[in-house]
Amino acid sequence: MPAPFGRRICVVLSRVEVGAYVVLEVADDCVAAEPGQFYMLMGVDGWGGGDAQRPFVGRAISALRATGDGRISFLIEAVGPGTGQLTASERLWLVGPLGRGFTPPEGGRELLLVGGGVGIPPLVMAQEAWGGRALVGFRDAHHAQAASLFKDPEIATDDGSAGHHGFVTDLLDRVLEGRADVVIYACGPRAMLEAVRQRAGRHRVKAQLGIEAEMACGFGSCWGCVVATKDGYKRVCVDGPVFDAAVLA
């Protein structure tokens, strides 16, 4: 369903730390997001830091959970003034849900959820909707605590402090060996997504990739989040953020 027109103020109901991340749950009785869709978030109070500082544009944040009972949650890592303000806010401006999310799996194939870092929220929602096996990668054990949001995840960390010492694509290689009865849903850093795309092509399996991009509007008007496809440049915010791996250039 399309997003309601305009932005709305939503009250933050809870704030829970999960390792290096914060899970914010907000009250929102508008249409619920589907797995892979996102919202543009801004703090209501103090957003922009004052007249002498540049205003913060909204942050594109994927939905983590949308229960359908007037609550929605987001996973955020405070890495700068904008995301730091979001995690500290008591009220948020929301625009969304926006974009095209994941399409449900077909043909009884096993669903492989491959996520990296703060890219895991749409995969958590996909697993809760359709099941699947979660392979998730993080920089260290502190960040890897967010894997607890999944059911029975397999973990990789860059420094080896939790799970497999290496990349999440190492775990994917093991699963894909000799398999063609799977479909991949992935979201995370661009380098990880490119590695997943290459493996999907090599093993001849379908993959849907949720692309992360910096956005200013979320509605496709600024053309600041384009991605190259075999059919020209597409806007991540309206043509995606989920794309079939086979269409990406």
Residues of CATH 3.40.50.80 domain(s) within the chain? 110-212
CATH number for the segment(s) 8-98:
2.40.30.10
Strand partners, 243: 209
Query: Tokens 């892979």 belong to which residue?
Result: 36
| Number of CB atoms found within 10 A of residue 177's CB | 8
Q: pLDDT tens for residues 45-76?
A: 877 766 666 667 889 999 999 876 789 999 99
What pLDDT is attached to residue 1? Answer: 54
Residues of CATH 2.40.30.10 domain(s) within the chain? 8-98
Whole-angstrom distance, CA of residue 189 vs CA of residue 37: 17
**Structure-token pair, residue 241:** 């953020």
What pLDDT is attached to residue 2? Answer: 56
> In terms of CATH architecture, what is 110-212?
3-Layer(aba) Sandwich (3.40)
- Tell me the pTM: 0.91
Q: pLDDT tens for residues 8-18?
A: 999 999 999 99
- What integer best gives the mean pLDDT of the chain? 90
**Structure-token pair, residue 137:** 């990668």
